[in-house]
Amino acid sequence: MRGCLSTGHRWRLLGGAVLVGHLALTSTLAGAQQAADPKPESTSATKGAALDTLIYAPHDYGAPEVTETGGARGSDQSETKLPNLLVLAPPKLAATLSAQPTLYWYVSGPSSAPLRLTLLDFEGTSPEPLLELELDPVPSAGVYSASLAEHDVRLERGRLYEWSVALEVNQEGYSNEPVAKTVMAAKEADPALLAKIADAPALARIEALAAAGYWYDALDLLAQQVETDDPSQPWRELRAGLLEQVGLQAVVAFERGDGYAR
């Protein structure tokens, strides 16, 4: 399926290196979800108040690392350096409250190679992807995104899903392709959290979602607020701070530097 990149202000994309055994990781992640620690609630956001930073609290601090980065040099026939790929996700398992989240990734530079976005049921037995998009080459460094809602894909609550972005530099197969990937958990929300964010202003919703461990929802709401150019909050800096907490330093530098299309 040919897909279109969302490129609002060039903040919208990737593939891996270290491979973890699929069955062992599935078992570990399932146990980690069941033994999740209670999340601290943030109390600093008040309506109309400015916030210096967001606190992301993962569902389980003891969960295994599931995120891989992608980057490699061209083949022996090419001296071209391929861009690095980063999925915008924490090293450890992150959760989504939405059944149709928007996925974000970073490409460190332009590439003539097309990209492939793949979504798999991590616990399923079928090798067929739930979604596979062929994406055009990116013209410049930036953060890219794809919305599952735009492709009529829904996640089942309580299941794990692997998603990845790869540079299609190998025309004969998937081996040796730069690929960044991660695993996300589609989770049910606590009714108390849903009530808390139902009529809350944007900042309070983002803070509550981040504190409750819903990474994908908090990041997407931040992206939406950045697009509004609302001067009441330093939205870009809040987003940079959130990314910095999970070690995405290259994206933080891009966000705070001249590369970002402001």
pLDDT tens, position by position, 212-253: 999 999 999 999 999 887 777 889 999 999 999 999 999 999
In a domain, 196, yes or no: yes
In a domain, 2, yes or no: no
Residue ranges with strand state E in 101-260: 102-107, 115-121, 131-135, 142-147, 159-167, 179-186
CA distances from residue 119 to 69, 182, 242 in whole angstroms, order as listed: 16, 10, 24
How confident is the model over 126-137, as a mean pLDDT? 93
d(CA 129, CA 120): 5
CA angle 158, 58, 218 (to 5 degrees): 85
Q: What does the CA dihedral 260, 180, 248, 134 come to, rounded to 10 degrees?
A: 20
Q: What's 160's DSSP letter?
A: E
In a domain, 262, yes or no: no
Domain residues for the domain of 73 are 8-256
Residue 229, sorted as left (phi over 0), alpha (psi -120 to 50) or beta, turns out to be left
pLDDT tens, position by position, 1-27: 545 444 433 444 333 332 233 333 344
d(CA 222, CA 47): 16
CA distances from residue 200 to 34, 42, 47, 119, 170 in whole angstroms, order as listed: 29, 14, 8, 32, 48
From the list 230, 238, 236, the residue with the least C-alpha distance to 255 is: 236
How confident is the model over 62-76, as a mean pLDDT? 68
pLDDT tens, position by position, 26-52: 444 444 444 444 343 333 333 445 567
d(CA 218, CA 96): 9
In a domain, 261, yes or no: no
In a domain, 53, yes or no: yes
In a domain, 3, yes or no: no
What global pTM score does this model have?
A: 0.79
Q: Which SS3 state, helix, strand or coil, does residue 197 take?
A: helix
pLDDT score recorded for residue 261: 40
Q: Extract the tokens encoding 79.
A: 């001296």
In a domain, 137, yes or no: yes
Give the CATH number, domain containing residue 106: 2.60.40.10
d(CA 160, CA 190): 18
The total number of structural domains in the chain stands at 1
In a domain, 1, yes or no: no
